[in-house]
């Protein structure tokens, strides 16, 4: 398994995380196939990639020639079977165990027996996802942080069945695409979200208890604790459905009260108020935005 032999990558799921992962891979010279569940979702995901690059050109972050070259290496499909045989695959679908297992089992029948398969899971143990695989030794977590084109961290999460060769490969691949890898045990929520989600949930409980407003709690965290975003701003940016899914996944597996979702969070998600991507979450937004781009 030679790092230099990897030319093709596939990203399954082109939502907030998937499209950002695709951008990272395109920026690093790979040919990228993005896979979505239907034509409408695929069109929306490809439009997000184009708009991200258009914004980058306007802000002088990337040249038109570079964008043209990147987009020439981008392909979209609604069929997992269209993924090139020699691809490195990164699964980035919703935080649902059965969905991830279905995707991974189908991927395994399409690509080379030696190609690595990564999951961008943010909370589900890798060993659970790999239960459907013939070759779980080549499977591990490769968790980007939002937004992937900006955030430097990638969590590398091997399961008990992951072969050491693939762990070493994942660490080197993260460095190759300009990220800083950390290795974490295969426990629910891993490192980042094990710290972040209880922080967000505690802030919501403070709000529910009438201690302060989302605006002032965010201000206190930014001005007093030095955080770049407050917990409510960050939750809206992540997507409240994502925050709830992570909290539910960990709480169900561990019973740890730090991850017990609040009634307010569940209420907002039930109402479809998911944060920036829908135009309303804990805050109201005139138009939904993704990385500062109106979508």
Q: Is 291 left (phi over 0), alpha (psi -120 to 50) or beta?
A: left
The set of residues, in sequence order, having a beta carbon less than 8 Å from that of 86 and lying 6+ positions away, is 5, 6, 7, 8, 111, 112, 115
Question: Which residue ranges does the chain devote to CATH 3.40.50.720?
Answer: 3-183
| Biggest alpha carbon–alpha carbon distance for the chain | 57
Give per-residue pLDDT as tens, 256-277: 999 999 999 999 999 999 999 9
Q: Is 272 left (phi over 0), alpha (psi -120 to 50) or beta?
A: left
The set of residues, in sequence order, having a beta carbon less than 8 Å from that of 258 and lying 6+ positions away, is 197, 198, 201, 202
pLDDT tier at 166, thresholds 50, 70, 90:
very high
pLDDT at 290: 53
Q: Which CATH architecture has domain 3-183?
A: 3-Layer(aba) Sandwich (3.40)
Question: Which residue ranges does the chain devote to CATH 1.10.1040.10?
Answer: 193-289
pLDDT tier at 5, thresholds 50, 70, 90:
confident
For the annotated catalytic residues, the residue numbers are 122, 143, 155, 193
Handedness of CA 216, 222, 228, 234 (dihedral sign): negative
Q: How large is the average pLDDT for residues 83-93? A: 97
Asked whether 11 and 25 are in contact (CB, 8 A), the reply is yes
Give per-residue pLDDT as tens, 167-181: 999 999 999 999 999
**DSSP strands (E only) in 120-266:** 139-144, 153-158, 180-183
Calculate what percentage of the chain has a pLDDT beyond 90.
94
Give per-residue pLDDT as tens, 128-163: 999 999 999 999 999 999 999 999 999 999 999 999
pLDDT at 295: 45
Give per-residue pLDDT as tens, 90-134: 999 999 999 999 999 999 999 999 999 999 999 999 999 999 999
Q: Which two tokens stand for residue 121?
A: 């899971």
What Rg value do the Cα atoms of the chain yield, rounded?
A: 19
pLDDT at 167: 98
The SS3 assignment for 149 reads: coil
The set of residues, in sequence order, having a beta carbon less than 8 Å from that of 167 and lying 6+ positions away, is 140, 156, 158, 183
Round to whole Å and give the CA distance between 62 and 54: 9
pLDDT at 286: 73
pLDDT at 287: 58
42 has pLDDT over 80: yes
Domain 193-289 has CATH 1.10.1040.10: yes
Q: Which of 221, 187, 191, 185 is nearest to 203 (CA)?
A: 221
Round to whole Å and give the CA distance between 189 and 97: 14
């Amino acid at each position: 398994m030679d790092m230099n032999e990897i030319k093709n990558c596939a990203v399954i799921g082109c939502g907030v995380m998937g499209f950002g992962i695709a951008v990272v891979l395109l920026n690093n010279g790979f040919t990228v196939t993005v896979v979505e569940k239907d034509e409408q979702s695929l069109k929306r995901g490809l439009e997000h990639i184009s708009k991200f690059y258009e914004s980058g050109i306007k802000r002088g972050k990337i040249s038109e020639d570079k964008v043209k070259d990147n987009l020439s290496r981008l392909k979209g499909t609604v069929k997992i079977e269209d993924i090139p045989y020699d691809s490195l695959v990164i699964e980035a679908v919703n935080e649902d165990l059965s969905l991830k297992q279905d995707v991974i089992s189908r991927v395994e029948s399409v690509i080379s027996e030696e190609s690595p398969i990564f999951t961008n899971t943010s909370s589900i143990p890798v060993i659970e996802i790999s239960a459907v695989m013939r070759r779980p030794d080549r499977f591990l977590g490769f968790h980007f942080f939002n937004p992937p084109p900006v955030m430097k961290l990638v969590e590398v999460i091997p399961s008990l069945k992951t072969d050491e060769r693939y762990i070493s490969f994942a660490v080197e691949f993260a460095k190759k695409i300009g990220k800083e890898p950390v290795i974490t045990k295969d426990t629910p929520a891993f490192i980042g979200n094990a710290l972040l989600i209880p922080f967000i949930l505690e802030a919501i409980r403070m709000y529910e208890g009438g201690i302060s407003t989302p605006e002032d709690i965010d201000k206190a965290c930014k001005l007093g604790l030095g955080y770049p975003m407050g917990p409510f701003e960050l939750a809206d940016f992540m997507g409240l459905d994502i925050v709830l899914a992570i909290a539910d996944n960990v709480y169900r597996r561990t019973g740890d009260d730090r991850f017990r979702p609040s009634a307010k969070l569940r209420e907002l998600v039930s109402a479809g108020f998911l944060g920036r991507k829908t135009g309303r979450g804990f805050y109201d937004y005139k138009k939904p935005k993704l990385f500062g781009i109106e979508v």
